[in-house]
Amino acid sequence: MTNEYEVIIIGGGPAGLSAGLYTSRARLKSLLIERGVVGGQIADAELVENYPGFAEGISGLELGQLMQQQAAKYGLNTITAEVTGLELKGEKKVVKTTKGKFTARALIIASGSERSKLGIPGEEEFSGKGVSYCATCDGPFFKEKPVAVVGGGDVAITEALHLVKFASRVKMIHRRDQLRATRILQEKATAEPKIEFFWNSLAEKIEGEDVVKRLNLVNVVTGEKSTLDVGGVFVAVGFKPNTDYLKDFLPLGKAGFIITNEKMETKIPGVFAAGDVRLNSAQQAITAAGDGATAAIFAEKFLSG
């Protein structure tokens, strides 16, 4: 396999796959590097109802696979490897991976984000033993058990609505007195009899023996402490960008997200960023795909300019 490309795309979620479709159709020799399953976070979504063109909705896994097939049809090369570092000084950018070095004149960084951790006692100890970051992946393990979902945004509500199919009861722990989620999701959650809300509450400690048994809470208004008997704790409190591998090579913005302009250009000429990895991204599959297309179009202009 040759190691020289015109464009290298880091990450195979909606942003990277969309960028790959555009660069390949533009006849640019393109390589997409993905460390895991192609599709990115959207592969974890059971049903995607807000991606235009799929009036009945589509499973996230299938959506990711279709995106990959479409890009591959136009010649996108994909490899499974983790990007560990970059060299951005010369005209040719060097991408270091677990499968060797690759070079290109333009880079599109689309490495997305992953769930933030709560950082409380018991979280790490019981990770995979009742503590989960993906209801779609782990929901069926919690049949007829009470579970807690920590968070109050779209992802937390989506997780809770998925879990009602399996769990006996879903206890939503939110640190504020109202949800941040979009209205349609709030309406669905409040209409669901199995979902119970614990407002103004912070998760303090996860306890158990071999598996999770209890979640300790503190009320941020009254200071009152309480304990919930639960068989699982689903964490949905936000996202952190996958940019640790970039921090020595690229100036990063707030919380490690990448700053770009409206052309998806970073501060380094020829280096673009797209999707959830960008500061202030809308964190949706469609916006990530749009960013990927924009980055690819301006990468093409950069290469021909």
- Which of the following is catalytic: 44, 138, 276, 291? 138
Is residue 177 annotated as a catalytic residue, yes or no?
no
Q: Is 111 in contact with 266 (CB distance < 8 Å)?
A: no
210 labelled catalytic: no
Nearest distance from C-beta of residue 261 to ligand FAD, angstroms: 17
Instruction: Give the active site residue among 137, 177, 229, 244.
Output: 137
- The Cα 304–Cα 266 span in angstroms is 18
CB of residue 214 to ligand FAD, shortest distance in Å: 25
Q: Which is nearer to ligand FAD, 65 or 284 (CB)?
A: 284
Q: Is 154 among the residues known to form the active site? A: no
Give 134-199 as a 3 state SS string: CHHHHHHHHCCCEEEEECCCHHHHHHHHHHCCCCCEEEEECCCCCCCCCHHHHHHHHCCCCEEEEC
CA distances from 142 to 149, 165, 175, 187, 236 (A): 13, 10, 24, 24, 17
For tokens 């950069």, the residue is: 302
Instruction: Report DSSP state, residue 297.
Output: H
Q: How many CA atoms are closer than 13 Å to the CA of 227, on its beta-carbon side?
A: 9
Closest distance of CB 29 from ligand FAD, Å: 19
The pair of three-digit structure tokens given for residue 16, joined into one six-digit string: 């990277």
Binding positions for ligand FAD, rule: CB under 6 A: 10-16, 33-36, 40-42, 44-45, 48, 50, 82-83, 110-113, 136, 155, 158, 242, 245, 275-277, 283-286, 288
Least spacing, CB of residue 19 vs ligand FAD, in Å: 9
Shorter beta-carbon distance to ligand FAD: residue 48 or 189: 48
Q: Between the CA atoms of 219, 225, 230 and 233, what dihedral angle is there, to the nearest 10 degrees?
A: 50
Residue (195 or 295) nearer to ligand FAD, CB: 295
CB of 99 to ligand FAD, least distance (A): 11
For residue 160, give every residue at least 6 positions away whose Cβ sits within 8 Å of its Cβ, in sequence order, or none.
135, 149, 170, 172, 189, 192, 195, 234
Q: Are 215 and 230 in contact (CB under 8 A)?
A: yes
Active-site positions read: 134, 137-138
